[in-house]
């Protein structure tokens, strides 16, 4: 059999062809402008309700200027790994600042957020260890578990009784790492970190939080889920990305100095990948400067999210509970989701469709997410578009 046969006849390819034939294919839309509250798609101004640009810093002049200056000083890339010739002073400065921001001793940066989870989990969890995961953790956590030699067990989403049932059966001589998303990226739901801490203490487990969608969003200073709950000292490893609130590309972990030192000498995705380009590091560093100097951006973000939540609720649009600036609009079935996505785009509003198998069958949603720099005019326009589309959908 030809190994490429799956590329022609898999269920995914068949469905893609069918959706394209119906004119409903919603993925890989080409943006003809920078990432902002409004973008250009097919030559048309479109309100962006589908990005993770939570603090609106991708278009901030200070962040862009920092990236340009780093490009001029250091060049376009490092041509090597951090382990060898690819460590710049700006990498070290960024790591020190990130560690201080999340109240940890040390930090380590990776070239992407996905790679960060691959790198930490495959390094810190070995053959005699267990990784305990929430069933709705991000795909990068799932793949990081697969890359490690540890045994992975899943508990029902945010179910502390199920977590304790699973963890209680693990022998005392085995190491245990509980890994959880701080904010779950589709539902916008916040993890039950207080419950996890309680169970972890009882059974001597360590805790890692993937705070990709919590960093810059939760907590008074924006340092994430642990700050939100007042549990910064109880979380052993904090992971986050640069591609969301930090308006760049990359990722980091923060932990004790001994953990970071071990990981930087054992993590293959870190040791054998080129380091973050200097412009990306500089952009993330300047974005962090803005977050610390303008904490009101976090308040603007929550005000916009609350405004949209209340507006959608008033219109009778079916949405999930309000937890974070991620608001899922329920469409249930895949085809209905494709149709709604297309109709909204025609009205000048971009949203992200999440369909099965990415979500359980019958639980498809339009994932909307908000930015601190959205204007009320943009939000009102979006609400009018939702009202028009959902009336037509019945």
**pLDDT single digits (tens) 108-127:** 999 999 999 999 999 999 99
Q: 366 is written with which tokens? A: 């339009």
pLDDT tens by residue, 270-308: 999 999 999 999 999 999 999 999 999 999 999 999 999
Cα separation, 195 vs 163, in Å, equals: 9
| C-beta of residue 332 within 8 angstroms of C-beta of residue 291 | no
Cα separation, 150 vs 272, in Å, equals: 21
Q: What is the pLDDT of residue 12?
A: 85
Percent above pLDDT 70 for the chain: 100
Classify domain 8-48+295-393 at the CATH topology level. Answer: 3.90.1150
- Order across the sheet with 352-354: list the strands: 326-332, 364-369, 352-354
Of 200, 209, 146, give the one whose Cα is nearest residue 175: 200
Cα separation, 52 vs 303, in Å, equals: 16
Residue 222 backbone zone (phi > 0: left; psi -120 to 50: alpha; other: beta): left
Q: What is the pLDDT of residue 196?
A: 98
The DSSP element (H or E) to which 328 belongs, if any, is: strand 326-332
Question: Of 91, 136, 138, 213, which is the active-site residue?
Answer: 213
pLDDT tens by residue, 359-384: 889 999 999 999 999 999 999 999 99
Burial of 357 (0-12, 13-18, 19+ CB in 10 A): exposed
Cα separation, 161 vs 199, in Å, equals: 9
SS3 call for 96: helix
- Specify the residue for token string 């509250």: 37
Of 229, 235, 107, give the one whose Cα is nearest residue 179: 235
Name which residue leads in pLDDT, 15 or 151.
151
Asked whether residue 15 carries a pLDDT value surpassing 90, the answer given is no
pLDDT tens by residue, 325-347: 999 999 999 999 999 999 999 99
Q: 164 is written with which tokens? A: 């304790």
Cα separation, 388 vs 7, in Å, equals: 39
Cα separation, 232 vs 224, in Å, equals: 9
The domain limits of the chain are 8-48+295-393, 61-293
Of 331, 226, 259, 5, give the one whose Cα is nearest residue 108: 259
pLDDT tens by residue, 59-113: 999 999 999 999 999 999 999 999 999 999 999 999 999 999 999 999 999 999 9
Cα separation, 36 vs 56, in Å, equals: 7
Asked whether residue 358 carries a pLDDT value surpassing 90, the answer given is no
Q: What is the pLDDT of residue 285?
A: 98
Measure Cα distances from 281 to 79, 215, 224, 268, 363 in Å.
15, 17, 20, 21, 38
Model confidence, pTM:
0.96
| C-beta of residue 214 within 8 angstroms of C-beta of residue 182 | yes
pLDDT tens by residue, 26-59: 999 999 999 999 999 999 999 999 999 999 999 9
- Note if the bond before 192 is cis, omega within 30 degrees: no
Question: Of 140, 185, 245, 369, which is the active-site residue?
Answer: 185
| 363 catalytic residue (yes or no) | no
Q: 287 is written with which tokens? A: 């974005």
| 44 catalytic residue (yes or no) | no
Q: Which CATH architecture has domain 61-293?
A: 3-Layer(aba) Sandwich (3.40)
Measure Cα distances from 233 to 17, 42, 207, 220 in Å.
50, 48, 11, 16
Average pLDDT value for the chain: 97
Q: What is the pLDDT of residue 9?
A: 87
Measure Cα distances from 98 to 213, 227, 276, 329, 348 in Å.
16, 14, 15, 34, 37
Q: Which residues pair with 350 in a beta bridge?
A: 48
357 — pLDDT class (breaks 50, 70, 90): confident
Burial of 265 (0-12, 13-18, 19+ CB in 10 A): exposed
| 244 catalytic residue (yes or no) | yes
């Amino acid at each position: 059999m030809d190994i490429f046969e799956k590329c022609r006849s898999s269920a995914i390819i068949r469905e893609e062809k069918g959706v394209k034939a119906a004119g409903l294919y919603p993925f890989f839309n080409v943006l003809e402008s920078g990432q902002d509250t409004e973008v250009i798609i097919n030559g048309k101004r479109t309100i962006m309700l589908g990005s993770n640009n939570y603090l609106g810093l991708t278009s901030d002049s200070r962040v862009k200027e920092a990236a340009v200056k780093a490009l001029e000083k250091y060049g376009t890339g490092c041509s090597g790994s951090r382990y060898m010739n690819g460590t710049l002073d700006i990498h070290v400065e960024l790591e020190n600042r990130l560690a201080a921001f999340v109240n940890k001793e040390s930090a380590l940066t990776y070239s992407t957020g996905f790679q960060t989870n691959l790198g930490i989990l495959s390094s810190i969890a070995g053959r005699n260890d267990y990784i305990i995961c929430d069933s709705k953790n991000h795909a990068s956590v799932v793949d990081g578990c697969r890359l490690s030699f540890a045994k992975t067990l899943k508990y029902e989403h945010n179910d502390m009784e199920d977590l304790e049932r699973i963890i209680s059966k693990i022998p005392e001589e085995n190491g245990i790492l509980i890994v959880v998303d701080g904010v779950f990226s589709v539902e916008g739901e916040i993890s039950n970190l207080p419950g996890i801490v309680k169970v972890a203490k009882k059974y001597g487990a360590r805790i890692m939080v993937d705070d990709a969608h919590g960093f810059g969003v939760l907590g008074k200073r924006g340092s994430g889920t642990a700050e939100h709950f007042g549990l910064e000292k109880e979380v052993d490893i904090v992971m986050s990305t640069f591609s969301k609130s930090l308006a760049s590309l990359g990722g980091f972990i923060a932990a004790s100095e001994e953990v970071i030192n071990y990981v930087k000498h054992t993590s293959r995705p870190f040791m054998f990948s080129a380091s973050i380009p200097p412009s990306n590091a500089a952009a993330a560093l300047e974005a962090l400067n803005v977050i610390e100097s303008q904490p009101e951006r976090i308040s603007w973000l929550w005000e916009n999210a609350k405004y949209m939540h209340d507006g959608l609720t008033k219109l009778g649009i079916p949405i999930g509970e309000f937890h974070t600036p991620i608001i899922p609009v329920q469409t249930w079935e895949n085809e209905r989701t494709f149709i709604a996505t297309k109709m909204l785009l025609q009205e000048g509003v971009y949203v992200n469709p999440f369909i099965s198998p990415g979500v359980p069958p019958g639980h498809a949603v339009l994932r909307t997410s908000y930015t601190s720099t959205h204007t009320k005019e943009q939000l009102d326009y979006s609400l009018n578009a939702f009202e028009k589309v959902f009336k037509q959908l019945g």
